[in-house]
Structure 1
């Protein structure tokens, strides 16, 4: 893998102008930002485009522009056979669906690594940046944000593989730190009862989704929820208060037969951006990633990009406004799914949001529904300008049995004239309108083959 890293960095240094094309999610925005910063430090002219999907339309547009070199970050691997006529380098971690070789293609799956957990798109881009100039190790913070944004710490409760080496770079350079703490989202910014109310990895029986129960739970433990008039956040609690809460949550999970595996997920590594202000969205990698996602999902990638580049004024305030709207959108979307219901088939379950859920957040909604859904792959549909957006999510226990959603989405989408791909645990596709039933039939056929 190192040889490919070196080859890409040497190729980039030979060019005076580079076009960066990246994905719109947190990992993609972080990757595009890393690429931009490292090129700027080398004095290489460049511009950045963030796209939701690399398709024929985007490729044709690039061919017409005829850039000197295109650097694809967090995408590109799935379209290698269609990039003829473009001079490219690729740093992408998504599963490769074809066997066609390409020069300057950095993908962990080509080197026996797992792109779902070992390293992200921003991590691969960071490796190139670091090889170009050792001083770029400060960009390791963005790589960790990207990895966490892609939930690469979820399976093991910590970052592993090459992500671990990147994390150590960040610690050594003073931009990152990590410790063991509760893994629920909102440690820095949510009041404690809200942190418990919205806990979903794992869900807490009797508490998740129930504000009054969360308040009573804390009162029964003798936890003061306010410091004078200010709601206390998780980071405001003493070690003893945290221990009491975690112990009771673990006891609840075990007593409700949620299993030792789920109980272990409550605690794990959390990643801190050492140079950011405590108590803000930027101090915790998971919250920073959500801030970036809220920018990308609403066509405001330039806002997240500028925050990654260091803006802590206008762009940060605009990002926070988007984050507030993003949270409201997710609440409404979850309510829609709860009201409309999930349809169960023999091998999969699905819901069709139509125009009721933004196609750019339907994947997030599907992921949030997994803990509540039956142990079957969940397929989510939403209308889009290009047809129908499909997001697929599953429980990791099914992946361990052989399920690979990237293969499912790729093959089923092709069957109906669409395109798809992703990771084993989370994948997506875009298909023509009115092909959903045929698509689901093909999905079920492949899922049956994979896990019976």
Structure 2
């Protein structure tokens, strides 16, 4: 396979150099990718350092170049700016306009980077090509893929992610089961699991704590059982809950497609304790996000590297804060939604961290799915963070649209077809939105023609 040949080429290039600086993305997939790169270089006996960034821009590049590395290894980061440096390695899965010789990206091989391979997965392929013993890092690539929601569309990992999952299974790191797909099966009381259920929404239940409790008591669950986690319920109680959810969906005309989305694959980390956020790959990924996005990527990296004794306790504190921040941010963003001709947008200013606006935009895009949703939040150094999501997708390529719109105002941007982001100068938001709508209109017009 060509992608493996490219991985081998990258391996030989890395082996020729002594000092490598890893630059990785500030989210779960990026943290997992960075951890894989760290372990790979450590085992290879190379000197290395690591930086965590929101996006590749002139400031972040200058910081790295000042450290005089032999090689810069970008993981889970698209590069859409010119870099005056030759020894660059990129293991990523985003759409990009820049090409580098030592780059492994599924899009360059006609593969789907949205669901078929994550940034951590691309990094793992290089790591495994370095030494097959690095298969013991495969679980990190699975966590990274789940963190980027690559299992959500099919309710399972597909493409090259599937091959990586099989590696993790073969070395005894991951066990696959079929179970409910609502988030929090290991860590939330069951009534809270249903409270935030949104894919699919449970008619008359989701969004109301009182309705959730009533729903469960009517099914015969005791008050004590309502406060148990999903994994602690009996098979009979689980079956009753799922059957009633399916009945409600049918009664409201949701159809069999929504019902099938109730159940899917769950990836359990065999070496972690059941009932904790470390056991379920999706919950592990959320734990990583809740630390990295709040200024402590070092804690997230330690979790991935197995240094859990102190980092897990710290990460849990950040997780509780993340949940509260996300809830407040969602409430604020809903009051700020503005409608333009062909998109919706909101701007939360400095009242929400720029590292969280992407999560808020993703969640709200389910409620405002008919048009692309753009979220703004004030960032650092006079910039504004932009997040773009479009659930319905269609023929719109947000990655290209965001890149062009950001470039038109002196910013940088890119991402995936249906999920993209940018950094733009503060005060250029309206000009950016005008340019974005113009590009989206061009794409739609081209599709019609």
Shorter chain as denominator, the TM-score bin is: over 0.9
Please state how far the C-alpha of 1:239 moved relative to its aligned partner: 2.1
**The residue matched to 1:381 in structure 2 has which SS?**
strand
Paired position in structure 2 for 1:417:
410
Alignment of 1:130-169 (within 5 A): 130-169=128-167
Q: Secondary structure at the match of 1:96?
A: coil
Alignment of 1:395-414 (within 5 A): 395=391, 398-399=392-393, 401-414=394-407
Task: Report if aligned partners of 1:78, 1:94 keep a CA contact under 8 Å in 2.
Answer: no
Corresponding residue of 2:61: 59
| Residue equivalent to 1:172 | 170
| TM-fit CA distance, 1:257 | 2.9
Correspondent of 1:367 among 362, 367, 389: 362
Q: Check whether the contact 1:78–1:95 (CA below 8 A) recurs between aligned residues.
A: no
The runs of 5 or more residues in structure 1 that have no matched partner are none
Retained in 1: the 8 A contact 2:191–2:227? no
Contact 1:202 1:371 in 2 (8 A): no
Deviating beyond 6 angstroms after TM superposition, the runs of 4 or more aligned structure 1 residues are none
Name the CA distance, whole Å, in 2 between partners of 1:305 and 1:201: 30
Match of 1:343 among 330, 338, 350: 338
Distance 1:30 1:39 in 2: 14
* Equivalent in the alignment of 1:248: 244
Name the counterpart of 1:108. Answer: 106
CA distance in 2, matches of 1:224, 1:8: 58
Question: More displaced, 243-252 or 180-189?
Answer: 243-252
**Runs of 5+ unmatched residues, structure 2:** none
1:179-238 deviations in Å (ceiling 9; x for gaps): 1111111010101000000112232222221001001111111123525xx931110122
Pairing of 1:80-91 with structure 2 (within 5 A): 82-91=82-91
Give the Cα–Cα distance (whole angstroms) in 1 for the partners of residues 253 and 97 of structure 2: 39
In the superposition, the TM-score normalised over structure 2's length comes to: 0.95
- Taking the aligned partners of 1:123 and 1:135, their CA distance within structure 2 comes to 16
Counterpart in the other structure of 2:439: 446
Match of 1:324 in 2: 320
Q: 1-side partners of 2:241 and 2:362: how far apart?
A: 26
Q: In 2, distance between residues paired with 1:39 and 1:151?
A: 27
The 8 Å contact of residues 72 and 88 in structure 1, kept in 2 or not, is answered as yes
Deviations 1:235-294, CA, capped at 9 Å, x for gaps = 012222222211221222232233443332221111111110000000000000000001
Aligned-residue offset at 1:106? 0.4
**Root mean square deviation, CA, Å:** 1.5
State how far apart, in whole Å, the 1-side matches of 2:271 and 2:159 are.
Answer: 25
